Structure 1
Amino acid sequence: MNLFQMTLETPSGPLSILYDATDTVYHIDFPDQGERQERLLKRRFKNFQLTDQDSAALAQPLQAYFAGDLPALQEIPVKTGGTVFQRKVWQALRAIPIGTTCSYRDLAYQIGQPRAVRAVANANANNPISLLIPCHRVIGSDGTLTGYAGGLKRKEWLLRHEGAISQV
C-alpha cells in the first residue's frame, strides 16, 4: 500500500495525516504518542510505503477546524479498515454531535449491543483516524475523561475547543 504522509502543526501539537492520491484519509495520529501509528498500519496493511507530501485539500479543513470552524472536518473522506464491529463503532463515533460527549456504555447501546461496553472501548482505542472519527468525545460513565491515544491533556483541549466542557 502506498500512502502519502503530511504533518500539520496544530494548537494541540503536530498531527500526522496519512492519505491516498484521492485525499482519502487512512490514518491520523499525534506522532508524539510512540509507535501507535506504525503498529496500527502494520496490522492493517502488513506492507506499506509512506511518501512525504502535503495536501492543501486536507490541510485547509484541518486548519479551519483548529481555527474554530468545527464542522470543517465532516466532509473529509476516510477509509477505516477494521472489522465489521469496529466499523459500526467508528460510524457511531462520527454521529456524536460536535460539542457533546457520550460514554462507552451509551455507544454500546447506540450500536444495539448494550453488553459490548469493553469491545466498544477496544474499538475506540484502535480508531485509526482520530479527530475525524471523534473518539475524544467518549468519556467515562461518571463523566470523567478516560483514555485517549493522544493523551488526556490533548483530549481535554479538544473537548474544550469543541465546547463540550467549559473553558474554566
Structure 2
Amino acid sequence: MTTTPLRWAGTDTPDGRFTAIFDVDGTVYASGWTDDPAYLETLIAPALRTDEIVEGDGADVITAVDDYYSGDLAAPSRIAVTQQSGPFLTSAWAALREVPAGPPVTYTRLAELAGNAAAVRGAASCCARNAAALFVPCHRVVRSDGTLGGFRYGLDVKRSLLDREAAA
C-alpha cells in the first residue's frame, strides 16, 4: 500500500453514472457503472490500494469514456490500466485490451488469446475479476452459444455496450 492518494472522477453515460479510480498519471485502477468510488476501491488488488482516494478531475480518463459514448469505441484502449494478479489473469487482461469493438469473442477464444487454450474457466475468472470495466473490455466476451454470461454491472449494460459496438 502506498501513501500517494489515488483519484476518482465520474461522468453520466446512457448506461448510468460511470466512475473511475486512477493515479496522478491517469492510469486506471478500477472503473464501472456506479457512483460509489468506495465500491470500486474494493475491486483494486490490496497491494495496489492507497491510504486515501480523493476526487480529481480525471480529464483524460473521463474524456475517454465520453469519447467512447460519442462513437470513438477505441478511446478507452488508449488509457493505461494497472491490475495485479497471477500470470494467466494478467495475460488475459492484456489480451482483452486487444479485442476490438465489433463481434464479441467467446471465453474459449479469450483463453486462446491469453496463451492457454485449456484455461476457459480462467478466462471467465479474468472477466469476473476485472476491476477496470470498459478500459479492459470484459463486456466483449460471451459464452460459446452466444449468450451473454455475467457482467458485474448487469446484463442490460452489457447488452447496451455490445449493441453500441455492433452498430458502429
**Which TM-score band applies after superposition, normalised by the shorter structure?**
0.7 to 0.9
Relative to the length of structure 2, the TM-score reads: 0.88
Give the counterpart of 1:160 among 134, 144, 163: 163
Deviates more, 1:38-47 or 1:98-107: 38-47
- Aligned 1:93-112 pairs, distance under 5 A: 93-112=96-115
Q: Alpha carbons of 1:96 and 1:112: their partners in 2 closer, same or farther (altered >3 Å)?
A: same
Aligned length: 165
Q: Provide the residue aligned with 2:122 in structure 1.
A: 119
Percentage of identical aligned residues: 34
- Aligned 1:1-168 pairs, distance under 5 A: 1=2, 2-31=5-34, 37-41=40-44, 43-45=46-48, 47-163=50-166
Unaligned ranges ≥5, structure 1: none
Contact 1:42-1:48 within 8 A present in 2 as well: no
Taking the aligned partners of 1:58 and 1:39, their CA distance within structure 2 comes to 20
| TM-superposed deviation, 1:109 | 1.9
Taking the aligned partners of 2:57 and 2:116, their CA distance within structure 1 comes to 40
| TM-superposed deviation, 1:40 | 1.8
Q: Deviations over 1:65-123 (max 9, x none)?
A: 11112122221111122222111000111111211211111111222312211111112
Q: What is the one-letter code of the residue matched to 1:161?
A: R
Give the CA RMSD over aligned residues.
2.2
Taking the aligned partners of 1:66 and 1:119, their CA distance within structure 2 comes to 30
Deviates more, 1:142-151 or 1:58-67: 58-67
Q: Alpha carbons of 1:51 and 1:87: their partners in 2 closer, same or farther (altered >3 Å)?
A: same
Taking the aligned partners of 1:79 and 1:46, their CA distance within structure 2 comes to 11
| TM-superposed deviation, 1:133 | 0.7
| TM-superposed deviation, 1:37 | 2.3
Q: Alpha carbons of 1:41 and 1:111: their partners in 2 closer, same or farther (altered >3 Å)?
A: closer
Unaligned ranges ≥5, structure 2: none
Relative to the length of structure 1, the TM-score reads: 0.88
Taking the aligned partners of 2:60 and 2:115, their CA distance within structure 1 comes to 36
